[in-house]
């Protein structure tokens, strides 16, 4: 049974849906403000500095735990359906992950749709990775991670880096990834009553804005249709109550079939990106610790 602390995210997600439902014409700027306040769900990890930096024309945020390795980096790509979210909404989550891992993280503030539809966000992430390489960071000391739309981006980024001839990071950690832009998984229906936020109508609208008329099966936007061969080891964490659960289970099977090393943990009764409650809910702390324990040896820590 989920802890009482974890139930805070149910209340928050229900509030978000009700607020948007009561204001169907709410401007996107106001919706973005709503989603940026998700940082209140977690607690600050403490002992972590946050410093913004321009990385190849893309604003990013260095997340620096005191005493952490400066040679190892987690390249983090935030979620928010490609339309919302920022380096601020996910600052605490990334802080906990970096502190648990014992290295720096670089939180990417990629340009959002609909102002920057696909492939804009993907190209931004590749630019930041190229900047890291030019700064002297070694790919074997880099892992990538991200949640929801960012979970898909951190996967698509690996595919794009491979196809562009860049040396690949040592590992990837998609969190509750939203891969299927057609939103066709069985869990979209079977978990509809369990999931307090990710409803089909919501993600259908987000996908439409992100694709801007493009093909939802474009492999550069939807990794379920991509060639996954040659990708580094991946660790997926996802909640059993998510409408997007099947995105993870289908991707995991496809990746294994392509010869990719994949670990996937399904957390019972967890909502979409419950990791946001790091420091406040034991299930979030457990998920982040397991990610850190898994990735540390992958990047040479």
Mean pLDDT in residue range 11-18? 93
- Give pLDDT tens digits for 271-283: 999 999 999 999 9
- Give pLDDT tens digits for 228-241: 999 999 999 999 99
50 bridge partner residues: 63
Task: Look at residue 55 and tell me whether its pLDDT is greater than 90.
Answer: yes
- Give pLDDT tens digits for 135-182: 999 999 999 999 999 999 999 999 999 999 999 999 999 999 999 999
- Give pLDDT tens digits for 68-121: 999 999 999 999 999 999 999 999 999 999 999 999 999 999 999 999 999 999
Assigned architecture for domain 8-298: 3-Layer(aba) Sandwich (3.40)
Active site (annotated) includes residue 272? yes
Token pair of 118 as six digits: 């696909």
Task: Look at residue 38 and tell me whether its pLDDT is greater than 90.
Answer: no
Cis preceding linkage at 114, omega within 30: yes
Q: What is the pLDDT of residue 154?
A: 98
Active site (annotated) includes residue 52? no
Q: What is the pLDDT of residue 262?
A: 98
Q: What is the pLDDT of residue 1?
A: 81
DSSP-assigned letter for residue 112: P
Q: Which residue has the tokens 């539809």?
A: 117
Mean pLDDT in residue range 17-29? 91
- Give pLDDT tens digits for 243-265: 999 999 999 999 999 999 999 99
Task: Look at residue 37 and tell me whether its pLDDT is greater than 90.
Answer: no
Every domain of the chain and the residues it spans: 8-298
Average pLDDT, the chain: 97
231 torsion bin: left (phi>0), alpha (psi -120 to 50), beta (else): beta
Active site (annotated) includes residue 193? no
State the catalytic residue, choosing from 12, 78, 145, 242.
242
Q: What is the pLDDT of residue 22?
A: 87
Report the alpha-carbon distance of residue 298 to residue 301 in Å, rounded. 8
Measured CA to CA in angstroms, residue 11 lies from 17, 93, 116, 178, 288 at distances of 10, 19, 31, 22, 22
State the catalytic residue, choosing from 148, 152, 187, 248.
148
State the catalytic residue, choosing from 72, 78, 118, 272.
272
pTM: 0.97
In the chain, the N- to C-terminal Cα span, in Å, equals 34
- Give pLDDT tens digits for 179-219: 999 999 999 999 999 999 999 999 999 999 999 999 999 99
């Amino acid at each position: 049974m989920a802890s009482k602390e974890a139930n805070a995210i149910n209340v928050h997600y229900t509030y978000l849906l009700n607020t948007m439902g009561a204001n169907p014409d709410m401007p996107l700027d106001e919706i973005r403000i709503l989603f940026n306040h998700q940082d209140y769900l977690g607690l600050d990890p403490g002992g972590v500095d946050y410093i913004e930096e321009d990385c190849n024309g893309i604003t990013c945020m260095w997340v620096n735990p005191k005493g952490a390795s400066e040679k190892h980096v987690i390249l983090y790509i935030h979620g928010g359906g490609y339309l919302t979210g920022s380096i601020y909404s996910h600052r605490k989550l990334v802080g906990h992950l970096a502190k648990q891992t014992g290295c720096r993280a670089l939180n990417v503030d990629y340009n959002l749709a609909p102002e920057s539809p696909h492939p804009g966000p993907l190209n931004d992430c590749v630019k930041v990775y190229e900047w890291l390489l030019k700064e002297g960071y070694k790919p074997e000391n880099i892992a990538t991670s991200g949640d929801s739309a960012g979970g898909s981006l951190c996967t698509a980024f690996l595919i794009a880096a491979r196809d562009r001839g860049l040396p690949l990071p040592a590992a990837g950690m998609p969190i509750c990834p939203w891969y299927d832009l057609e939103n066709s998984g069985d869990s979209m229906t079977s978990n509809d009553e369990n999931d307090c936020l990710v409803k089909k109508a919501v993600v259908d609208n987000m996908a439409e804005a992100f694709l801007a008329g493009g093909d939802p099966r474009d492999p550069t936007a939807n990794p379920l249709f991509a060639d996954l061969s040659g990708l580094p080891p991946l660790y997926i964490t996802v909640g059993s109550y998510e409408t997007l659960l099947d995105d993870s289970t289908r991707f995991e099977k496809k990746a294994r079939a392509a010869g990719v090393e994949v670990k996937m943990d399904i957390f019972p009764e967890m909502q979409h990106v419950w990791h946001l409650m790091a420091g406040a809910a034991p299930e979030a702390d457990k998920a982040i610790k397991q990610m850190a324990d898994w990735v540390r040896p992958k990047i040479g820590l």
